[in-house]
Amino acid sequence: MARFLNRRQGEEVRIRDVAFAYTFNGLASAYVSRELIQLEGGGSERMSGVVREMMELYAAPNISDLYPSLGGLDILGLRKRTEECVAKLRELWDPLISERREAKESSGCRADRDFLDAMLDSGFANEAISYTFLVIPRNISTN
């Protein structure tokens, strides 16, 4: 982050995006030992937009909360929009999960273990791991 800010010295920088990328990458490093958002190229803005939309969707009142019998209709389109956001987030880590599982099966243990290694060792399926990772951005506040 410091290198990025030094390169941008004298330019306008959106601190919110830098802080989001720093926080998200800190969590990603703990979970998968890799930074997932690059500050260059607008990756932070796109990802924070998806996370922000997810938070709004989770907080939005749904008609099916008041009338459960209407739940299957998705009248407000919240379920569809949430599924689209989930798909965007899964584009980040699904390849990482598959790559790590393949590497683990072919070469065995890694020296630098992380949360993903622990989940793989515990026998979790890729789908279960992926949905567990939805907790990461859901709990990051970008405001």
pLDDT tens for residues 89-111? 888 788 888 988 888 888 866 66
Question: What's the confidence (pLDDT) of residue 31?
Answer: 84
**DSSP type of residue 97:** H
Banded model confidence at residue 143, pLDDT cuts 50, 70, 90: very low
Question: What's the confidence (pLDDT) of residue 124?
Answer: 93
Q: How many Å apart are CA 71 and CA 20, to the nearest integer?
A: 34
Banded model confidence at residue 142, pLDDT cuts 50, 70, 90: very low
Residue 6 has, within 13 A of its CA and on its CB side, a CA count of 3
6-10, 28-32, 82-86, 107-111: range with lowest mean pLDDT: 107-111
Q: Is residue 17 within 8 Å of residue 52, measured between CB atoms? A: no
- Residues 27-77: tens digit of each pLDDT: 888 888 888 887 776 666 777 788 788 888 888 888 888 888 887 888 888
Query: What integer is the mean pLDDT of 6-32?
Result: 83
Q: How many Å apart are CA 30 and CA 36, to the nearest integer?
A: 11
Question: What's the confidence (pLDDT) of residue 109?
Answer: 66
Question: What's the confidence (pLDDT) of residue 92?
Answer: 79
End-to-end CA distance of the chain: 19
